[in-house]
Chains A and B, each alone.
Chain A
Amino acid sequence: MKSTAHGFKENARNALQDTQLRDALSVVGTNFIVKRRLAADALPEFETLRDEATAIKNRTLNELDLHLERFERKVVEHGGVVHWCIDAAAARETVLSICRSVNAKTVTKGKSMLGEEIGINPFLEANNIRPIETDLGEYIIQLADEPPSHIIAPAVHKTKSQIADLFEKHHKRPRSMDGEALVAEARAMLRQSYFDADVGITGANFLVAETGSSVIVTNEGNGDLTQTLPKIHIVLASIEKLVPTFEDMATILRVLARSATGQQMSVYTTVSTGARRAEDPDGPEQYHVVLIDQGRSAMLGTELQDLLRCIRCGACMNHCPIYHAVGGHAYGWVYPGPIGAALDPALLGVAEAHHLPNASTFCGRCEEVCPMRIPLPKIMRHWRERAFEDDIQPVMQRTAIRWWAFLARRPFLYRANTRLAMWLLHALGKTRGRFKSLPFAGGWTAGRDLPAPQGGTFHAQWAAKGGRTK
Chain B
Amino acid sequence: MTTVALFVTCLVDLYRPGVGFASVKLLEEAGCEVVVPEAQTCCGQPAYNSGDRRDAMAIARQVITAFADFDYVVAPSGSCAGMIKHHYPALFAGDPQWRIKADDLARRTHELTSFLVDVLQVEPAPARFDGTVTYHDSCSSLRELGIQAQPRALLGKVEGLALRELKTPEACCGFGGTFCVKYPEISTEIASRKAADVAATGAGTLLAGDMGCLLNIAGRLQREGHAVKVRHIAEVLAGMADGPAIGEPQS
**Chain A in direct contact with chain B (Cβ < 8 angstroms):** yes
Residues of chain A whose beta carbon lies under 8 Å from any beta carbon of chain B: 9, 12-13, 16, 29, 321-322, 324-326, 358-365, 367-368, 378, 381, 383-389, 393, 397-398, 401-402, 404-409, 411, 414-415, 418, 421-422, 426, 430-434, 441, 443-444, 446-459, 461-462, 467-470
Whether the pair A322, B186 counts as a contact (CB closer than 8 A) is yes
| In-complex Cβ contact of B34 among A401, A404, A468 (8 A) | A468
B250 at the interface (CB under 8 A from A): yes
Of residues 11 to 37 in B, which have CB atoms within 8 Å of A's CB atoms? 12-18, 20-21, 24, 33-37
Query: Cβ of A386: which chain B residues have Cβ within 8 Å of it?
Result: 51
Kindly state the separation between the CA atoms of A455 and B250 in the bound complex, as whole angstroms.
Answer: 9
Whether the pair A449, B183 counts as a contact (CB closer than 8 A) is no
Whether the pair B176, A363 counts as a contact (CB closer than 8 A) is yes
Query: Cβ of A468: which chain B residues have Cβ within 8 Å of it?
Result: 33-36
16 intermolecular pairs with C-beta atoms under 8 Å apart? A326-B186, A365-B143, A381-B51, A385-B51, A401-B47, A408-B42, A408-B55, A415-B41, A422-B14, A430-B249, A446-B185, A447-B188, A448-B188, A449-B223, A459-B36, A468-B34
| In-complex Cβ contact of A434 among B20, B50, B219 (8 A) | B219
With A448-B219, A448-B223, A449-B222: A454-B37 Cβ-Cβ less than 8 Å: no
Main secondary structure of the interface of A (DSSP, over half): helix
B contact residues, range? 35 or more
Whether the pair A365, B247 counts as a contact (CB closer than 8 A) is no
- Closest B residue to A450 by beta carbon equals B219
State how many angstroms separate the Cβ of B169 from the closest Cβ of chain A.
12
B218 at the interface (CB under 8 A from A): yes
Query: Cβ of B170: which chain A residues have Cβ within 8 Å of it?
Result: 365
Whether the pair B191, A448 counts as a contact (CB closer than 8 A) is yes
- Closest B residue to A455 by beta carbon equals B250
State how many angstroms separate the Cβ of B42 from the closest Cβ of chain A.
5
Of residues 34 to 79 in B, which have CB atoms within 8 Å of A's CB atoms? 34-42, 44, 46-53, 55-56, 58-59, 62
Whether the pair A459, B8 counts as a contact (CB closer than 8 A) is yes
B248 at the interface (CB under 8 A from A): yes
Query: Cβ of B33: which chain A residues have Cβ within 8 Å of it?
Result: 468
Of residues 224 to 243 in B, which have CB atoms within 8 Å of A's CB atoms? 243
Kindly state the separation between the CA atoms of A42 and B34 in the bound complex, as whole angstroms.
Answer: 46
With A359-B179, A458-B8, A459-B36: A405-B55 Cβ-Cβ less than 8 Å: yes
Main secondary structure of the interface of B (DSSP, over half): helix
With A384-B50, A389-B51: A433-B249 Cβ-Cβ less than 8 Å: yes
| In-complex Cβ contact of B15 among A402, A447, A451 (8 A) | A451
Whether the pair B36, A462 counts as a contact (CB closer than 8 A) is yes
Instruction: Encode B185-202 as 1/0 by CB contact (under 8 A) with A.
Output: 111111111000000000
Kindly state the separation between the CA atoms of A405 and B10 in the bound complex, as whole angstroms.
Answer: 12
Which of A405, A409, A456 has the most B CB atoms < 10 Å from its CB?
A405
Whether the pair B20, A432 counts as a contact (CB closer than 8 A) is no
Whether the pair B251, A361 counts as a contact (CB closer than 8 A) is no
Beyond A408-B42, A434-B222, A451-B15, 19 additional pairs, beta carbon < 8 A: A13-B185, A326-B189, A361-B190, A368-B143, A381-B48, A383-B51, A388-B53, A401-B46, A404-B42, A405-B46, A409-B62, A430-B249, A432-B249, A433-B250, A443-B184, A450-B219, A451-B246, A468-B35, A470-B38
Query: Cβ of B192: which chain A residues have Cβ within 8 Å of it?
Result: 447
B180 at the interface (CB under 8 A from A): yes
B2 at the interface (CB under 8 A from A): no
Query: Cβ of B17: which chain A residues have Cβ within 8 Å of it?
Result: 454-458, 461
Of residues 158 to 176 in B, which have CB atoms within 8 Å of A's CB atoms? 168, 170-172, 174-176
State how many angstroms separate the Cβ of B46 from the closest Cβ of chain A.
6
Across the A-B interface, the 8 shortest Cβ-Cβ residue pairs: A361-B176, A447-B188, A448-B219, A388-B51, A384-B51, A405-B55, A451-B247, A363-B172
With A325-B189, A365-B139, A418-B14: A405-B172 Cβ-Cβ less than 8 Å: no
Whether the pair B215, A443 counts as a contact (CB closer than 8 A) is no
Kindly state the separation between the CA atoms of A358 and B178 in the bound complex, as whole angstroms.
Answer: 10
Whether the pair A362, B251 counts as a contact (CB closer than 8 A) is no
Whether the pair A447, B223 counts as a contact (CB closer than 8 A) is yes
| In-complex Cβ contact of A433 among B38, B39, B168, B248 (8 A) | B248
B85 at the interface (CB under 8 A from A): no
Whether the pair B176, A362 counts as a contact (CB closer than 8 A) is yes
Whether the pair B139, A364 counts as a contact (CB closer than 8 A) is yes
| In-complex Cβ contact of B52 among A16, A326, A401, A433 (8 A) | A401
Kindly state the separation between the CA atoms of A367 and B250 in the bound complex, as whole angstroms.
Answer: 41
Kindly state the separation between the CA atoms of A393 and B49 in the bound complex, as whole angstroms.
Answer: 13
Whether the pair A434, B176 counts as a contact (CB closer than 8 A) is no
State how many angstroms separate the Cβ of B116 from the closest Cβ of chain A.
19
With A321-B190, A365-B143: A448-B216 Cβ-Cβ less than 8 Å: yes
Query: Cβ of B177: which chain A residues have Cβ within 8 Å of it?
Result: 361-362
- Closest A residue to B246 by beta carbon equals A451
Kindly state the separation between the CA atoms of A388 and B48 in the bound complex, as whole angstroms.
Answer: 11
Whether the pair A469, B186 counts as a contact (CB closer than 8 A) is no
- Closest A residue to B61 by beta carbon equals A409
Query: Cβ of A367: which chain B residues have Cβ within 8 Å of it?
Result: 143
With A462-B20, A468-B36: A431-B219 Cβ-Cβ less than 8 Å: no
